[in-house]
Chain A
Amino acid sequence: MDNQVYYEEFNMENPLPPLTKPPVDKIQLVKYAGASGDFNPLHYMDEVGQMAGTGGVIAHGMLIMGFVGQAVTRWIPNRNLKRLAVRFVDITKPGDKITVTGKIVDKQIKEGLGIITGEVIAADQNGGVKIKGMFEASLPLKEHGGKIKEVF
């Protein structure tokens, strides 16, 4: 395994590297409808969005959570991610450019493993928050005397 990440590599001072996604577009919503199986027409028929009062189609909340998952697994290897929890705060519309930011808010060693807790936020180009969430990861500790490299 050449991508092992260790507990000591994370600190609570520096934010995690943000992930900025290309603007959401309608083609992506159609792709995500097919991929997820969520065929609610609110996500691909503007007239349904107009009836629902959103002025047109809106993105699947789970697509934006997918962006959050993408960001978190850039920070933490998938096998070390133990929990990802989000609250859907606001709707996302085509054209919105989402950036996912995060920071570590807690670090604890439990039973020989390093447990880190992070906060994560997905927001649009105007700072409008779409998702607020948290993640937990369980990371190995560097062996005593091992070289500690700061990756973030």
Chain B
Amino acid sequence: MSDLSKMIGTELTSFSYAVERGKIRETALAIGDENPLYTDPEYARARGYRDVIAPPTFGICIDFWGGQDFMALCRKLQLNPVKVLHGEQEYQYFGEIYPGDTLNACCLLKNYIEKPQMSIFILETTYSNQNGEKVLVSRSTVIEKK
């Protein structure tokens, strides 16, 4: 397991993702969040946004649709996929995510903790838009049960 410890601080994956209006709308509808900020550009503009915006948990859509393949991640971290749990999730917001944005995401292994019952991995992904502005940071705690 020492080779995993050596991976702390290293990049696991990076990818880019084009934000689509339809994906924002689909995500809001799936959650059942009827806030018009996610679907109605006029409403959003009246509130000072330049267009509809992404909801606060949109980061997960960027990951799965943008190329952070779960199985590839499991292979990289030597995880058994059926023993993996999502323990914690944190988002830090620095700016809005709009349709038409191209986001560049970079995922680091922030920490790795070996415990008797489980291995704990902290992944930190930073998302920047086409203007180089950091808009979102995600921290995920991934647990592999033993």
The interface of chain A, by Cβ under 8 A from chain B, is: 1-3, 21-22, 28, 31-32, 34-38, 40, 52, 61-63, 65-67, 69-70, 72-74, 77-79, 81-88
Given contacts A62-B86, A73-B35, contact A78 B30 (CB under 8 A): no
When chains A and B are docked, how far (Å) is the Cα of A127 from the Cα of B130? Answer: 44
Q: Which residue of B lies closest to A87 (CB)?
A: B88
Q: Chain B at the A interface: mostly helix, strand, loop or mixed?
A: mixed
Is B33 part of the contact surface with A, judged by Cβ < 8 Å? yes
Q: Which residues of B (61-82) have their CB < 8 Å from a CB of A?
A: 61, 63-65, 70, 82
The interface of chain B, by Cβ under 8 A from chain A, is: 23, 26-27, 29-33, 35, 37, 46-49, 53, 55-57, 60-61, 63-65, 70, 82, 85-93, 96, 139
> Could you tell me the distance in whole angstroms from the C-beta of A61 to the nearest C-beta in chain B?
5
> Could you tell me the distance in whole angstroms from the C-beta of B67 to the nearest C-beta in chain A?
10
Query: Cβ of B35: which chain A residues have Cβ within 8 Å of it?
Result: 70, 73-74
Q: Which residue of A lies closest to B95 (CB)?
A: A79
Contact of A36 among B32, B53, B61, B90 (CB under 8 A): B61
Contact of A66 among B23, B49, B53, B57 (CB under 8 A): B57
When chains A and B are docked, how far (Å) is the Cα of A87 from the Cα of B85? Answer: 11
9 closest A-B pairs (Cβ-Cβ)?
A37-B64, A85-B90, A69-B56, A66-B31, A35-B30, A31-B30, A70-B33, A1-B48, A32-B30
Q: Which residue of A lies closest to B49 (CB)?
A: A79
Q: List 29 A-B contacts (CB under 8 A).
A: A1-B48, A31-B26, A32-B30, A34-B26, A35-B23, A35-B26, A36-B30, A37-B61, A37-B63, A38-B64, A38-B70, A40-B70, A52-B82, A61-B86, A62-B86, A63-B31, A65-B89, A69-B57, A70-B31, A73-B33, A77-B47, A78-B37, A78-B56, A81-B56, A85-B90, A85-B91, A86-B88, A86-B89, A88-B87
Known interface pairs A35-B30, A86-B88; 11 further A-B residue pairs with C-beta atoms within 8 A, sorted by A's residue number: A3-B47, A22-B32, A37-B61, A38-B70, A67-B31, A73-B56, A78-B37, A78-B96, A83-B91, A87-B87, A88-B86
